[in-house]
Amino acid sequence: MGDRDNKVAAAALLIMAGGILGAGFALLWAPQSGRRTRRDISRYAKRAKGRADEAVEDITTNIKDLVETIGEKTDDLVEKGKDVAGGARKDLIHLIEEGASRLEKFRTKLSRM
C-alpha cells in the first residue's frame, strides 16, 4: 500500500512540474513585454514554490505517519514474539522435567532386574 502511495505522490509531483514548466515556456513565447513576462514568471515561481512547499509538507507528514505505524507494528511483533518465546520456554521446561522423570523410572526398573 505504501508503494502505491509513493507512486501516486510522484505522479502528482511530475504532473505539477510539467504544468509549471509548460506555463513558463508559454510565458516566454507570449507576445508581451519583457518586464511583464519577468513579473509573470516571478509570480508563477512563487506559486510553484508554495505548492512545492505544501507537497513537501504533505509527504513529510505521510512519512512520519508511516514511520510511527511501522514502530507500533514492530512493538506489537516484539511483544508477540516474547509471548511465544515464553510459552515455548515453559513447554520445553515441562518436557525436560517429564523426560527426567521417565528416565528415573527407567533407571529404577533396570536396577530391579
**Residue 19 pLDDT level (bands cut at 50, 70, 90):** confident
CA 36 to chain centre: 45
**Mean pLDDT value of segment 27-49:** 81
What confidence score (pLDDT) does residue 46 get?
92
Average pLDDT of the chain is: 83
Mean pLDDT value across residues 49-76: 89
Q: How many Cα neighbours within 13 Å face the side chain of 26?
A: 8
Sign of CA pseudo-dihedral 83, 87, 88, 93? positive
Q: Compute the chain's Rg from CA coordinates.
A: 34
> Could you tell me how far CA 63 lies from the centroid of its own chain?
6
> How many residues are present in the chain?
113
